[in-house]
Chains A and B, each alone.
Chain A
Amino acid sequence: MTQAVPTILILSVIANFLALGSSNLRALIRAVAIQGLLLSVFPLAFAHSPSLRLAMLVAVSATVKGFVIPATLFRALREVHIRHEAEPYLGLVPSVLLCAVGTGLALLFAGYLPLADEHRGLLIVPAALSTFLTGFLLLTTRRKAISQVTGYLTLENGIFVFAQLLHEAMPFLVEVGVLLDLVVGIFVMGIVMNHIQREFSSLDTERLSELRD
């Protein structure tokens, strides 16, 4: 099954570029949802002996990342009546270029890290680092709370990819880490987003700029 691994990872790295390059919030949410779905099936392709436990992790993560969160974000988008342009601090083209450079560096850096025999040649480490970096870029260079949440999701996706390397050796760390981070993080962000919306009647974090030195 591991032949499918590089394909899935390359597709998800392409989703990174789609997410960073989309000028429309809907397209951004869609790109991140597709990536979430793709990566959710990734453990099945990667694991040597798929178990029920793994299948459950896959099901939960696919539902949350592929459907629940995107649906919530789309609903928030409908309700707040903000313009749907992404409005980044850093232009779309520079951020895509930055991501390309980052992906290259991730490939180089991953070359220095030793891997177990069964993990060689699968592109897992560079894909994880590149996705993590994309999430970081989305979080820091975007103005709207919604795109920041998608950034956080992408960050999570990056960790999820890397975590698969350890799933058989330390299932507890991986499952608890991934699920807790995802569910609780999004839950709390949802609450805060709700309050932002009520307080400012908008989800533009640009207005959150009163506190400065």
Chain B
Amino acid sequence: MKDASLTVREREVLAVIGRNASGKSTLSKLAAGILTPERGVATVDGLDTRDERLGLEVRRRVAFLQQNPESQFVSVTVEREIASGPENLGFTAADTRAAVGDMLDFFGLVELRKCPPSALSAGQMQKVLLASLLAMKPAYLVLDEPTSYLDPIERDAVSREVKRISQSLGTSVVWVTQFLYEAAALPRIIAVADGRVCFDGAVAGLQDDAATLALLGIDITELRQDSLGTPRLPGARSRCPR
């Protein structure tokens, strides 16, 4: 990253887009306090992420989700997975139980609570991981390409969950994505190119910004056709070919 500045406000949902190796993943890790800046400063509710004594306080406030769901499980059942975060943060047993119960309800996972994560689909795994992060009651959620490994139907389901999270729980969401249509559905887009924030605004502004589109390698005709349009996920109106 080079001289990148960004402020994420309370209850805000924003997308971070950029080409491979543009620095978008690094930006998200800096925001989550997983990486600390060599120059400049990253703060979470005023807490400097470079200050090791504040590490736990930063962790309480920001949760981070990676691309590949399979690489993130630490427990043998869905229920234990969701409990692991609150336990590590020192929640009491009663508070952990309550948080797990709330999250199982919120994500509709009650029936799967005794399942081993390996028995779940990739989409269900990401939901369980979202539940395990939100059980820690973070103020900010940083998602690093959470839908990359999912098929379009699972992607759509996870996207809807993320919007529901921000609306119902008031969690701010920083959502790194390579799917332009996912970004286009959010009120604010941050575009990263060559380690710099090259755009910060609404999708309408991006569509009109030819220089930034060129920098991002986005073809305007692509963007109008499907990439930045609504996700093309129709109902089951066509029948299965035989």
Partners in one complex: no
